[in-house]
Chain A
Amino acid sequence: MGAGHAHVLYRESTSPVHRLPPEVKIAAMVLFTLAVVATPRAAFWAFGGYALLVAVVAGLARVGPGWLLSRAAIELPFVLFAFALPFLGAGERVDVAGLSLSVDGLLGGWNIIAKGTLGVLASLLLAATTTTRDLIVGLDRLRCPQILTQIATFMLRYLDVLVGEARRMRVARVSRGDDPRFLWQLRGFAAGVGALFLRAFERGERVYLAMVSRGYSGRMPAVWQGAGAATAGQWLVGAAVPLVAATIAATAVALT
């Protein structure tokens, strides 16, 4: 339980990207994504530029391409959708290797794959370089309403509680002679889901009351202590990525 301060995607390191304050990274990532989405889909070179930018940041953060690409598999369902588009799309058609494909559908598919992949890679880089706690602190410093950061804090905290309780209940079932395999596991799970929720809540409530009795009032100590907030210099460093992306996007818009 003690190791619950990072999440599965976090990569322990002390790279320059890891050391940037979280609010800078979040802002840079969101602005980068917006620039990518605003780019006209036919400006193919622009997407190459974005990919290069992502690669440079990944290099600085010492995150390997293998790690990034295997985690990007989350995008697969929409890639399938993208591959279906050339066949479903309307309008002008071209013949490629004997298949009649919609031009609009081809461009649309490319659009989804390119923009989707870049977005996924950007958020994976954020996840790889930022702990859960820092993420919340960053959101709070970006003036996110306290009720939201509070829900997010508890959500991330209770995920581990839920997983732990589910594991304990499974062990209890198995040790009483249940033999969960593949689909039959679902039945046991479905029957126990209400109990799981209650057990997790009561454990979570205890955690919450323990926090309140130690002075928790809705914000993480790291926030109101104010230490480690981004300096102007760090904001400038972080702004480099969205600035380059915005330049590429503006050029692409101007050219098409």
Chain B
Amino acid sequence: METLAMHISNGIVNGPVAAVFAAFALAVLTLCVLRGRRDLDDRLAPMAGLVAAFIFAVQMLNFPIFTAGVSGHLLGGALAALLVGPWVGALCVAVVLVVQALVFGDGGVAMLGLNITNMAVLGTAVGYLLIALLLRVLPRTPVGLAVTAFVSALVSVVVASQGFVLQYWLGGTTDLGGNLAGLAGTMAGAHLLIGIGEGLITATTVVTVAKVRPDLVYALRALKPAAPAPVVPVAGGAR
């Protein structure tokens, strides 16, 4: 298997913008740590580890976007939000990114804030908001769950890819002139395809897990007990 995963590496975005996003990511992760502690019980701890390992493995599948020389890959934010909830989910993706940056040199250490903002915060937050919405609207059937998983994964991947475009617009080290719209288009187009793949993987995984061990799916657990209970905390960092 190709092991060419790649996040934003050092030097792509300038220092001040990276620092701002690092502070933002740190603040959101602190919130996630505080809220996530309540969620992490004996059942969720191994699940969180497995979700992180799964995302780690899945992010190794990499698709080069030839026209811009940028590459894209599966993210796993929606899967994490579905299985372990938004708080622990964001932490899982963040842990994956930190380990990749520290050990595998995948994504610059100085750019961790940017990568965490895009993939852990934006990806999981958008994914979870859609999940919370769709699970209420759609029928409580395996098909409804599959559609929820597919749509939320697809949208979260595209939104996360646009996070990079925003950051490059704010602090790209090279002025692309009018090509920024081109970059946005390339990223969105490629990640739409990736999102379809991610949506399929997320949907099959979650539906299988929900069939055999519904108690393991956080999103379903949160919905079950009482309808009026406030089950939709606005995921950290949603803007």
Contacts and interface: CB of A to CB of B under 8 A. Distances in A.
The listed residue with most B CB atoms (<10 A of its CB), out of A75, A77, A195, A212, is A77
A198 B213 contact: yes
B143 interface: no
Contacts of A246: none
B49 A204 contact: yes
Interface in A181-210: 190-191, 193-195, 197-198, 200-201, 204-205, 207-208
A147 B85 CA distance: 14
Interface stretch (B2-10, B153-161, B227-235): B2-10
A201 B216 contact: yes
A30 interface: yes
Interface of A: 7, 9, 26, 29-30, 33-34, 36-38, 41, 71-78, 80-85, 88-91, 102, 104-105, 107-109, 111-116, 118-124, 126-127, 130, 135, 145, 147-148, 150-159, 161-163, 190-191, 193-195, 197-198, 200-201, 204-205, 207-208, 212
Contact of B57 (A73, A159, A212): A159
B46 A208 contact: yes
A71 to B, nearest CB: 8
A205 B57 CA distance: 19
B104 A155 contact: no
Given A75-B6, A77-B70, A208-B45, A7 B174 contact: no
Contacts of B207: 194
Contacts of A156: 53, 99
Given A9-B104, A88-B174, A147-B88, 19 more contacts: A26-B102, A33-B110, A34-B109, A74-B105, A75-B6, A75-B9, A82-B69, A111-B173, A112-B9, A121-B105, A123-B102, A123-B104, A150-B40, A151-B49, A151-B92, A154-B52, A194-B204, A194-B206, A204-B49
Contacts of A89: 174-177
A90 B176 contact: yes
B174 A151 contact: no
Nearest to B63: A77
B56 A155 contact: yes
A81 B68 contact: yes
A156 B50 CA distance: 9
17 contacts: A38-B15, A75-B9, A78-B70, A89-B176, A90-B179, A112-B173, A118-B10, A126-B102, A126-B103, A127-B102, A151-B88, A154-B52, A155-B96, A156-B53, A157-B53, A198-B212, A201-B213
Nearest to B213: A198
A74 B47 CA distance: 29
Contacts, number: 238
A69 to B, nearest CB: 12
Contact of B175 (A90, A119, A155): A90
Nearest to A207: B46
Contacts of B5: 74
B1 to A, nearest CB: 10
Contacts of B96: 155
Given A29-B109, A74-B5, A162-B54, A198 B208 contact: yes
A91 B15 CA distance: 22
Contacts of A116: 9-12, 108
A212 B42 contact: yes
A201 B110 contact: no
Contacts of A161: 50, 53
Contact of A78 (B9, B57, B95): B9
Contacts of A193: 201, 204-205, 208
B49 A80 contact: no
Contact of A152 (B15, B37, B52): B52
The listed residue with most A CB atoms (<10 A of its CB), out of B62, B64, B104, B109, is B109
Given A104-B174, A116-B108, A151-B95, A111 B11 contact: yes
B181 interface: no
B36 interface: yes
Interface string B173-205: 111111100000000000000000000110011
B91 interface: yes
B208 A194 contact: yes
B57 to A, nearest CB: 6
B167 interface: no
B78 to A, nearest CB: 14
Given A29-B102, A108-B174, A201-B46, A148 B91 contact: yes
